[in-house]
Amino acid sequence: MPRFGEPQHPDFQRLNASIGFDRRLWPHDIRQSRAHARMLADSAIICAEDRDALLAGLEEVERELSEGSFQFAQDDEDIHMAIERRLTEIAGPVGGRLHTARSRNDQVVTDLQLYVRDQSVQAQVAITRVMAALLLRAEEHLDWPMPGYTHLQRAQPVYVSHHLLAYFWMLARDRVRFAGAERATRRLALGAGALAGVNFATNRRLLARELGFEEPAPNSIDAVSGRDFILDYLSAAATCSTHLSRLGAELVLWSSAEFSFCELPDAWSSGSSIMPQKKNPDAAELLRAKAPRVVGHLASLHGVMHALPLTYNKDLQEDKEHLFDVVDTLELTLAAAAGMIAGVAFNREQLREAAADELAAATDVADLLVRLGVPFRDAHGAAAGLVRTALDSGRHLSELSADELARHSEVLAAHREELAQVLTERSWLESKVSEGGTSLARVREQLQAARAELDEGPSA
């Protein structure tokens, strides 16, 4: 007698089903099912003939799925049941033996582990492309001055190369984070059963070796209920997307007429439906907008997992749509970032002119006073007074008279030649000689380190 006295409500079936989105897991489900069938035979749980029939049937199912001819049934709840149904149609009753010694609970986690592992590798590859584009453009613009900003106000000049390399190092850390997400998938869930293990002497270490895992998960409860490897992937994606949003925001600003620091490639720009003169940085804007979407998926899955009793609960079905959307979003945004960086055309003269504002040398004037023996706080105050005088009179610092200099600092008035050298445009950049600074010697060192980082890949 069936457990239930009435059929499922159609709306509950729609709520309960995941086939509409989890079908992308089919390559991983086929892969683990093959390994499982071989393990069952190796462990004498099924005979060799049954194994061969299962493998032949799985090959046909794989062919149909890859060619797009697979016919999904209305009552296929998820990709796992759809594959098992079709396998049984092809192989006959032996198809029902495939699910021996496994549960959908450990089956779906294993599929997701394989999927996250693959996507973590793909993310590292895509990030490397963006890093390579940034490094190439930094090498091409090694000695191009531009203003550096704090609070979106001109602060100190830097080289374009130095600015682009800031994003290189952000992405290098992102690549390491995705390597960590990949490592988080290395303990095999398959064989944990529904939650307590299975009633057969299975060889989980054989499964682990065949599927590329380091070892079986040591606790069956943790194996079926854990989703932290997905959280690790989403966390890496959220940080990476945030970095891309900052790059996108700067490309939007720099390509505006108000900045005119660069022009974005036509292939990554859009026009206006009504204003024919417009060239809109839509791709760069979408780098900004996609980041909170990714962060939202991370927060949502944390919400699903929060206070969730062990072991499996249907809540965990919600892991997939968050994961899949982030995978797709990250793929697109990394491709956009690589394309824009590779094709952006910088305006050297506009950048140089913006970086030539003498007020940006105020810190260098203060540092000159420090070298001449003035305490830094006094030097800072004197430099600020000079800036105020220059602004009030609409002049450059180099145009102030000896009397005006003396009014703020007798020391500066007595060292006008040294002040003139400090106010020489390139000296503002070349004075930044500390390790990691923007002087050309230090940027060349940084480029060498970046090339080594790119070639070596993630180190952690």
Please say if 272 is a catalytic residue. yes
Say what the pLDDT of residue 2 is. 64
Question: What is the block-wise mean pLDDT of the chain (460 residues), using blocks of 10 residues?
Answer: 76 83 94 98 97 98 97 92 96 96 96 98 98 98 95 92 98 98 97 96 97 97 97 98 98 96 92 76 96 98 96 92 97 98 97 85 81 86 85 83 81 79 76 90 97 82
Of the residues 69, 151, 434, 459, which is catalytic? 151
Q: Are 200 and 166 in contact (CB under 8 A)?
A: no
Of the residues 66, 256, 270, 272, which is catalytic? 272
In angstroms, the CA 26 to CA 20 distance is 12
Long-range contacts (CB closer than 8 Å, 24 or more residues apart) made by 52-60: 53/91, 53/92, 53/94, 54/87, 54/91, 54/94, 54/95, 54/97, 54/98, 56/91, 57/87, 57/90, 57/91, 57/94, 57/95, 58/30, 58/33, 58/34, 58/83, 58/87, 60/90
Say what the pLDDT of residue 1 is. 41
